């Protein structure tokens, strides 16, 4: 099947308009209509219900969407693999939970480059649900997070831990003053949310909620306040942030999830050996 037919189908589905799809694909509207007819003839079903100013997917069209997306993602990945340069043997695509990237992870990435020079590395930040979807459709090789998916298709491996302390821009802050000022709630996952609620109750009203730890630090430097951060971030650079005495610390595992039937299983596990013992 021509990949361009699926691209056109998905663009019409996205825009719900043949003219807009044609403009986005740099085609004529007649060419878009012809491609959709050709795809319908190949499949033997109608994909769209066409009426004036209203284009809707048929039930068969709805069922095709996921398959079309999977085929296009696989095709993109195949192009990337085939396009490897001389001396490059394979590619590993790593997803990292948004807000979790750190100097420690960057160091492991550089170590991988030194120890496995033939492996092309790709890293992307994703929220947990997006990473799970990408693992399922094989567009990620493994995902690093602290909320691993509990699905039978996946293997989960502990590769380290993240240790968080309550840090403030004030050297003399107390727990009460830290939580009462310009407090920043950093989303460190569902287990951290339970820890936070158990220790501090539901009455803490943050000035900012974010899953970007660097943003939390910048906010504290600019506006004062406090947040739960790893020492590697809070105590790096200037101005330095200060741990709040008597505030409870929080530690949890960092995990890597990957498909147990991946065609790159041996490579993935070799890469994860380098990530082992990670401390953030």
Instruction: Please tell me the distance from the alpha carbon of residue 14 to that of residue 17, in angstroms, as a whole number.
Output: 8
Q: Which of 16, 51, 66 is the last residue of a domain?
A: 66
- Contact of 198 with 139, CB cutoff 8 Å: no
pLDDT in tens, 33-62: 999 999 999 999 999 998 777 889 999 999
Whether residue 237 sits in one domain with residue 180: yes
* The predicted structure's pLDDT at residue 66: 87
Whether residue 232 sits in one domain with residue 170: yes
Whether residue 266 sits in one domain with residue 146: yes
In a domain, 211, yes or no: yes
Whether residue 260 sits in one domain with residue 149: yes
Q: Which of 66, 82, 106 is the last residue of a domain?
A: 66
In a domain, 80, yes or no: no
Instruction: Please tell me the distance from the alpha carbon of residue 34 to that of residue 265, in angstroms, as a whole number.
Output: 42
pLDDT in tens, 165-224: 999 999 999 999 999 878 999 988 888 999 999 999 888 889 999 988 888 999 999 888
Average pLDDT over residues 7-24: 90
In a domain, 79, yes or no: no
Q: Which of 66, 82, 102 is the last residue of a domain?
A: 66
Whether residue 119 sits in one domain with residue 247: no
pLDDT in tens, 54-102: 889 999 999 999 888 888 877 777 766 665 555 555 788 898 987 777 7
Whether residue 274 sits in one domain with residue 137: yes
In a domain, 74, yes or no: no
Whether residue 271 sits in one domain with residue 149: yes
Whether residue 259 sits in one domain with residue 229: no
pLDDT in tens, 110-152: 998 888 888 888 888 887 788 888 888 788 899 998 888 888 8
In a domain, 119, yes or no: yes
Model-level pTM? 0.64
In a domain, 73, yes or no: no
CATH number, position 105: 3.40.190.10
Whether residue 98 sits in one domain with residue 108: yes
In a domain, 30, yes or no: yes
Number of domains in the chain: 3
pLDDT in tens, 248-269: 999 988 999 999 998 889 999 9
* The predicted structure's pLDDT at residue 45: 93
* The predicted structure's pLDDT at residue 87: 52
Whether residue 111 sits in one domain with residue 227: no
Whether residue 227 sits in one domain with residue 270: no
Domain that holds residue 39: 3-66
In a domain, 259, yes or no: yes
* The predicted structure's pLDDT at residue 196: 94
Whether residue 121 sits in one domain with residue 15: no
pLDDT in tens, 182-193: 899 998 888 899
């Amino acid at each position: 099947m021509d990949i361009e037919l699926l691209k056109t189908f998905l663009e019409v589905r996205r825009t719900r308009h043949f003219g807009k799809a044609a403009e986005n694909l740099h085609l004529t509207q007649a060419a878009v209509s012809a491609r959709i007819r050709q795809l319908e003839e190949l499949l033997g079903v109608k994909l769209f219900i066409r009426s004036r100013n209203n284009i809707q997917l048929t039930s068969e069209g709805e069922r095709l969407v996921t398959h079309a997306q999977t085929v296009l993602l696989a095709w993109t990945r195949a192009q990337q693999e085939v396009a490897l340069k001389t001396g490059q043997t394979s590619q590993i695509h790593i997803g990292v939970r948004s807000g979790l990237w750190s100097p420690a992870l960057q160091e492991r990435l550089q170590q991988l480059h030194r120890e496995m020079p033939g492996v092309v590395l790709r890293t992307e930040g994703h929220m947990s649900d997006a990473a799970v979807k990408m693992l399922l459709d094989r567009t990620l090789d493994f995902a690093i997070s602290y909320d691993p998916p509990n699905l039978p298709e996946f293997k989960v491996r502990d590769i380290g831990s993240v240790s968080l302390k309550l840090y403030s821009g004030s050297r003399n802050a107390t727990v009460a003053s830290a939580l009462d000022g310009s407090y920043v709630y950093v989303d460190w996952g569902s287990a951290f949310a339970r820890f936070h609620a158990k220790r501090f109750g539901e009455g803490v009203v943050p000035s900012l909620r974010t899953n970007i730890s660097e943003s939390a630090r910048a906010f504290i430097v600019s506006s004062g306040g406090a947040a739960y951060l790893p020492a590697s971030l809070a105590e790096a650079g200037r101005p330095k942030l200060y741990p709040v005495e008597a505030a409870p610390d929080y530690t949890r595992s960092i995990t890597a999830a990957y498909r147990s039937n991946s065609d790159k299983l041996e490579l993935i596990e070799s890469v994860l050996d380098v990530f082992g013992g990670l401390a953030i």
